[in-house]
Amino acid sequence: MKLTDPEKAMLDGRDGRAKAKAMELLVRYGEALGAERLVETRNVAGTWATSRFMTDFVARGMDAVYSEFNLDSDEVVATPHAAVSSCQLIAGVDHRNWRIQGVPEEAALAQARAEAFFGARGIQQLATCTPYQVGNVPVRGEHCAWMESSAVVYCNAVLGARTNTEGRESTGAASITGRIPYWGFHMPERRFATHACEVAFPVDDMMDWGLLGYHVGEAVEEDIPVLSGIRHTPSLVKLKHFGAAGASSGGLEMYHIPGITPEAPTREAALGGKAPRERFGYGEAERRRAYENLNASARDRDVDFVMLGCPHNSIEQVWLIASLLDGRKVSASTQLWVHTPSAIRQVADRSGYTKAIEDAGGVVMSDTCPAISRFMPKGTRVTATDSAKQAHYLPALTGVQTWFGSVAHCIDAAITGRWTGGL
């Protein structure tokens, strides 16, 4: 791999041991991928503070855990300050509601300690899987180093910024060097569509965008689709759900919608002037199949737990939930958790939405989600969610039955304790 003089200086240890270990990792990783050089990045989204390593933090100290998990280094180095803007993604503990989550006190304290440690070293504690909803909005063409599949596909496709799906170690190294291997989605020629999808069924609401995403992800796996036949301009919320669903059923990291996403002024431009390698469609039968697959684990209609906010809810979604509750109470046999970034929670507090949800008996959660934390209300057997991603992962990760449907179906289940949704 060809390195610049400042990169060679970092590798030689002239900027300290941590940067030397970070450069060693990036060169090793880049060479394994066939990258010929590194590219500068000033936007990193990864994970540093998490109580998952609580026992290690206590027994071995923060620097040892940082060295191993953020730099893949056996040598223990002192944790340096971030060199470029770096934010913490979602973690396992809600800093306000950890007792309701069921998190042990020592884990909550460890999480707080880890956040303070990494915060003091420049890691911005956004604590969400949707950094683009709370101020981290890279511009078109900007090179980023992001983890989290739903964020990666949003970054590439909707914002036109450039990132591969990075890991804990590569984002750790990028944060202190400002470099990431130049390969994959950093390269303009790797961003063109390879597959063409003709959407024949009208797709407008959020549930339908989730179903379409689930079908598209399964069809393309890790390739890049261009969608035709979209008749309504989707919002942030709909594209967030579309990408998250496609990244769950397949490995969707990039897509194009002509006239809507920034690198697709036309279908031809999205395809880079070439013919698509494969074509597929989305109609009523595909929609039904996606719906049935997402509901495959569900049998019992008595719902114990309703989870909304995967990916984390926008303020518009929190407002919608508060409006749909409409002064009614959540059933005594059901719990309602609404997940949103901590920064949006503050807006919800000031706008009265949190109070409306809490008055109904729900909880507004931040910083985490059940799939990441593995914490749900005790005794949960049956869940309901408006998220294709959560419906894909929860049964596999936790063994619970999961109903997938619209946000209105989910609120109805929270109020009545029964699932009555359907296509």
Interacting residues with ligand F3S (CB under 6 A)? 90, 129, 150, 244, 310-312, 339, 369, 371-372, 389-390, 393
Task: Look up residue 264 and give its two tokens.
Answer: 């697709």
Q: Which is nearer to ligand F3S, 123 or 151 (CB)?
A: 151
Q: Which is nearer to ligand F3S, 72 or 367 (CB)?
A: 367
Residue with tokens 């991603």: 389
Torsion on CA atoms 369, 129, 177, 125, rounded to nearest 10: -70
Cα dihedral 27, 33, 39, 43 sign: negative
What is the layout of strands, in order, in the sheet containing 225-228?
Answer: 225-228, 195-199, 278-282
Nearest CB to ligand F3S, comparing residues 258 and 370 = 370
Least Å distance between CB 273 and ligand F3S?
Answer: 34
Tell me the closest approach of the beta carbon of residue 370 to ligand F3S, in angstroms: 8
For the bound state, the minimum distance from the C-beta of residue 312 to ligand F3S, rounded and expressed in Å, comes to 6
Minimum distance between the CB of residue 248 and ligand F3S, rounded to whole angstroms? 8
**Closer by beta carbon to ligand F3S, 17 or else 168:** 168
- CB nearer to ligand F3S: pick between 270 and 338: 338
Q: Among residues 23 and 244, whose Cβ is nearest to ligand F3S?
A: 244
Separation CA 366–CA 369 (nearest Å): 8
Minimum distance, C-beta of residue 339 to ligand F3S, in the bound complex (Å): 6
- Count other C-beta atoms under 10 Å from residue 106's C-beta: 12
Beta carbon nearer to ligand F3S, 49 or 369 = 369
Tell me the closest approach of the beta carbon of residue 130 to ligand F3S, in angstroms.
7
Distances (CA, A) of 184 to 145, 158, 273, 276, 392: 12, 17, 19, 19, 26
Q: Which is nearer to ligand F3S, 163 or 177 (CB)?
A: 163
Q: Which of 50, 51, 77, 39 lies closest to 166, judged by CA?
A: 39
Report whether 306 contacts 404 (CB < 8 A): no
Least CB distance to ligand F3S at residue 288 (A):
24
* Phi, psi for 339 (deg, rounded to 5): -105, 135
DSSP 274: S
CB of 77 to ligand F3S, least distance (A): 29
State in angstroms the smallest separation of the CB of 342 from ligand F3S: 13
> Which tokens in the block code for residue 82?
């971030």
Q: How many CA atoms lie within 13 A of 305 on its CB side?
A: 19
Which residue number, 90 or 382, has a Cβ lying nearer to ligand F3S?
Answer: 90
Half-sphere exposure (Cβ direction) of 114: Cα atoms closer than 13 Å:
29
Start-to-end CA distance of the chain, whole Å, equals 53
**Which residue in 306, 317, 301, 402 sits closest to 363, CA to CA?**
306
H/E stretch holding 388:
helix 388-398
Distance CA 263, CA 193 (A): 10
Min dist. Cβ of residue 206 to ligand F3S (A): 14
| Secondary structure letter of residue 52 according to DSSP | G
Give the nearer residue to ligand F3S in terms of CB position, either 79 or 380.
380
What whole-number distance in Å separates Cα of residue 8 and Cα of residue 79? Answer: 21
In the structure encoding, which two tokens stand for residue 358, read together? 């809490």
The helix (H) or strand (E) run that includes residue 145 is: strand 145-146
